[in-house]
A and B are shown apart, each in its own frame.
Chain A
Amino acid sequence: MWEGLDIKEIVEMAKDPYPSIKEWAERSGKKVVGSTFADAPEEVIYAFGLLPVTIMGTTKPLKRAPSHLPDNACSLARSNLELVLSYAGDVFHGFVLPQVCDTTQHLSDIWRINLPGKYVESYLAPRQVDRPSARYWVKKELERLIDSLSNWTGMKINDGELVRSIAIHNENKALLKELYELKKKNPSSLTNKELFSMIKLSQQVDKEEFNRSLRRIRDTIKPRGDSDGFTDIVLAGITCDPPEIYDLFDEIKLNVVGDTLLIGTRYIQGMVPEGGNPIDALTERHFKRGFFSPIHDDVFKNFEEMKTIYRETGAKAIVYVHIEFCESQEYDLPDLKKMIKKEGIPMHVLDTEYQTLSLSHVRTRLQAFFESLKGV
């Protein structure tokens, strides 16, 4: 189902992958496990013969979420809740929900209470990463998750199954990385929207199948025009939605050459070292990638990371995507902006909301920002 997709079909499907996931699950008889961002180890879920799906909100209208989460909750949490309550709840047989902030902690409870009968497990990754206890705890949580999934499915997994799952996931990330490199050098070969749709969909569909589509695209991709005239940018933040924002980037010829997003580089960075004990390797991975959880993503690290990507890629500016009203970002942003400014790096902050109907104000501000850059 996902092995023969071309670029256009991927972009289309990434907009709303849930009908296809549902169909796939019915056909294959497999169960679907949803997770919110960001630490849930997909490889473990996959090793049980389940389909791990990262839930990434919906742009459809909010109907039921507001009565559970007030309007000062972040747009991502409300949108995710809406998706499972109104639009795609029947796609999922269960959930593994990581907790990164106060909002996500409540979200897991709200989901468990409002979706009775479904499997709901919390994945409690540490919200500190610099001390030895963090490593200890990641491993414990991985083991607990394996036990919990075993209980639910009545299945046991062995190292072989985990190793195989890891290999499939690693291959997916390697392919995405190659495609990203290709696009960076040759922005006419893949638009921003296309690349990020591939990364997004990778987190939602069966990777063994999807890797085949990605492999073929990699082997056949060609520049579709002139790659000149693009402005290279770094995209920073957690996610970037609604997807039409990429259309804006494409329209004004911006080329994302680096990012710190969960639906971008931070995902691709999550390759698991192969060869050793898989649980140890998965633990190790948690500390190798740019950290997902905003809670321990301290501003200095964030700043250093953004600065390094900016310098290494030779980009012209950073576009920071702020999700309304993400607390983690809102406590960090004033200082982050100051540091970036002091460094002399142009940065534009995009305030985004999943249910945004019109992007005209975003377009105007974005255009004005890049116009002013030209003048420098």
Chain B
Amino acid sequence: MTEKITSKELSKKITEEYLDEAFHAHEKGKLIGYSTAISPVEIFVAHDIIPIYPENHAVANLTAKKGAELCSVVESMGYTSHLCAYARSDLAYRATGKTVTRGIPEPDLFLACNAQCFTLTKWFQVLARKGNLPLFVFDTPEFIMDKRAREEIVKYCVIQLKELISFLEEITKKKFDYDRLREVIKYSAESSILYKKFLDMAQYIPSPISIFDALIGMAIAVYRRGTPECVEYYRVLCDEIQEKVDKGIGVLPKEKEKYRLYWENLPVWFKFSDHAKLLGSYGGVILTSLYVHAWSFEFDLDKDPLVTLAENYVSRFSNSTIEDRASMALELFKKYSMNGMIMFMNRSCKAVSFAVPTLKDVLTKKTGIPALVFESDMGDQRFYSEAQIRTRIEAYFETLDGLKK
């Protein structure tokens, strides 16, 4: 009998195959489309355009603590240190070729969906200018709370998706295949359900996964959604975690799991494992964040494919009002029985962070749970103060302990 493949092995295999294909795209008559992590990439996949996410590549470099070095390179090129560290490290990679991975293939075209952020549009504009390449901005107006406005916003987005399809047809001189799109969305829908199931396993006590597992597990959903291998990956992953649940294995043993925490924002990539250890030593496990849930789509296969794409992408947390973000987070608090929250003010990500102080106010008011707020940068170590953050974390757990007594 052959050994069951682990999710880790499968992830590695999928990633390698994906990158191999991407590096040889042109030989196979395919194009490389750079895309924002949140974007209706199903359209790319259906049209045989290989999506590449410069953000993912940036994460690899930032996690490997290359942030400060790369960021200083772009600063000498005239970019300020206030921009997103993904963008800064990427622009530096392009200038110097420095990376801890094999790099990423050069783009043929760009898709920037501003449901994620405005930074990416600007960053892609810089890259597109350099190569004089076509850029499509999928403009998703903020998903404001008015029902009628939402219907109109979705309509506007559907019109734009049609424009995106014409844009791609024009570049590739190939007719778009809607049946293929339906098939791709089917895979996305299936993998999204499994991905969400995986994230939601953090409901168990003790939780079998922490946010750090979620962040690792998220990668395939980001860059391989719309494919059968993505579905397969989450099936394997869910089975693995379920096994842990069945055996009662938690990130921390049940008796040690004191604090089930919410995390707001992206992680501090270069402190990834340190944070997990540090929090664990206080009996804390970070379970989830809105960020990892950004890829829990709910595609409705009975709807017109463009409509369900538009509805899903425009309503991501990053494009929702602060009130809606708060409701989404509150739902997670309830579902995962959380009793603490760490709110990270990430200098890099204005799109997420500028909501944080207001969000924190709403959440603490509604849950009565105190919050730990700290400021730093997700990738540029120069903005990270070890001693200060340790002290804050210690003090926070003392407060929580005090409340428990």
A109 to B323, Cβ gap below 8 A? yes
A330 to B79, Cβ gap below 8 A? yes
Query: What is the interface residue range for chain B against chain A?
Result: 35 or more
Interface flag for B210 (CB, 8 Å): no
Compute the total of residue contacts between A and B using a CB distance below 8 Å. 126
Contact residues of A between 34 and 61, Cβ < 8 Å to B: none
Residue of A101, A133, A295 near B159 (CB, 8 A) is A133
B119 to A133, Cβ gap below 8 A? no
* Selected interface stretch from A88-96, A123-131, A212-220, A257-265: A123-131
Interface flag for A274 (CB, 8 Å): no
Report the Cα distance A112→B122, complex, angstroms: 27
Report the Cα distance A335→B354, complex, angstroms: 27
A335 to B82, Cβ gap below 8 A? no
Interface flag for A363 (CB, 8 Å): no
A102 to B118, Cβ gap below 8 A? yes
Residue of B125, B159, B321 near A136 (CB, 8 A) is B159
B137 to A128, Cβ gap below 8 A? yes
- Give the chain A neighbours of B160 by CB distance below 8 A: 128, 131, 133
A69 to B354, Cβ gap below 8 A? yes
- Give the chain B neighbours of A72 by CB distance below 8 A: 82, 347, 350
Question: B323 to nearest A CB, angstroms?
Answer: 7
Interface flag for B114 (CB, 8 Å): yes
A109 to B358, Cβ gap below 8 A? yes
Contact residues of B: prevailing secondary structure: helix
One digit per residue, 1 when the CB lies within 8 angstroms of any chain A CB and 0 when it does not, for chain B 347-362 equals: 1001101110110001
Contact residues of A between 95 and 117, Cβ < 8 Å to B: 99, 101-103, 105-106, 108-110, 112-114
A330 to B126, Cβ gap below 8 A? no
- Give the chain A neighbours of B114 by CB distance below 8 A: 127, 295
A295 to B121, Cβ gap below 8 A? yes
Contact residues of A: prevailing secondary structure: helix
Question: B299 to nearest A CB, angstroms?
Answer: 22
Given contacts A72-B82, A325-B80, contact A131 B163 (CB under 8 A): yes
Residue of A67, A102, A112, A300 near B354 (CB, 8 A) is A102
Question: B126 to nearest A CB, angstroms?
Answer: 6
A73 to B354, Cβ gap below 8 A? yes
Report the Cα distance A274→B246, complex, angstroms: 73
B83 to A327, Cβ gap below 8 A? yes
Interface flag for A161 (CB, 8 Å): no
Interface flag for B272 (CB, 8 Å): no
A110 to B358, Cβ gap below 8 A? yes
Which residues from chain B sit less than 8 Å from chain A, CB to CB?
A: 77-80, 82-83, 87, 114, 117-119, 121-123, 125-126, 129, 137, 139, 141-142, 144, 148-149, 152-153, 156, 159-160, 163, 321-323, 345, 347, 350-351, 353-355, 357-358, 362, 375
Which residues from chain A sit less than 8 Å from chain B, CB to CB?
A: 67-70, 72-73, 99, 101-103, 105-106, 108-110, 112-114, 122, 124, 126-128, 131-134, 136-137, 140, 144, 295-296, 298-300, 325, 327-328, 330-335, 337
Q: 13 A-B pairs, CB-CB below 8 angstroms?
A: A70-B345, A70-B347, A70-B375, A102-B117, A102-B354, A106-B358, A113-B323, A131-B160, A144-B149, A295-B118, A327-B82, A328-B122, A330-B80
